[in-house]
Amino acid sequence: MKKGIHPESYRLVAFKDMSNEEIFITKSTIDTKETIEVEGTEYPLVKLEISRTSHPFYTGKSKLIDTAGRIDKFKSKYAKFKK
């Protein structure tokens, strides 16, 4: 590895998955203004929309979101090809 190109300011940071409120703590150099207290210790907080605890690939659960009836439109459009 090259010397002098990696940051030296690693610290423990709490990452919070906002879709399921799961919190995990790991080392990071990310800057954040928010903090959260976990088990009596205060950590810098980074909010995530999705993480390994809520992503369908890792959980094995998929969500079907039909906005504006796209699935129904598709089915009606290609119903004439159905035998």
Contacts 24+ apart (CB under 8 A), 29-38: 38/14
Q: Which comes out higher in pLDDT, residue 59 or 4?
A: 4
Task: Kindly tell me if the per-residue pLDDT of 2 is higher than 80.
Answer: yes
Instruction: Label residue 55 by pLDDT band (50, 70, 90).
Output: low
Record the tokens describing residue 73, joined without a space: 């439109």
Largest CA distance in the chain: 66
- The DSSP output letter for 46 is E
Average pLDDT over residues 30-56: 86
For residues 46 and 15, is the Cβ–Cβ distance under 8 A?
yes
The structure tokens 């598709």 sit at: 74
Q: What is the band of 75 on the pLDDT scale with cuts at 50, 70, 90?
A: confident
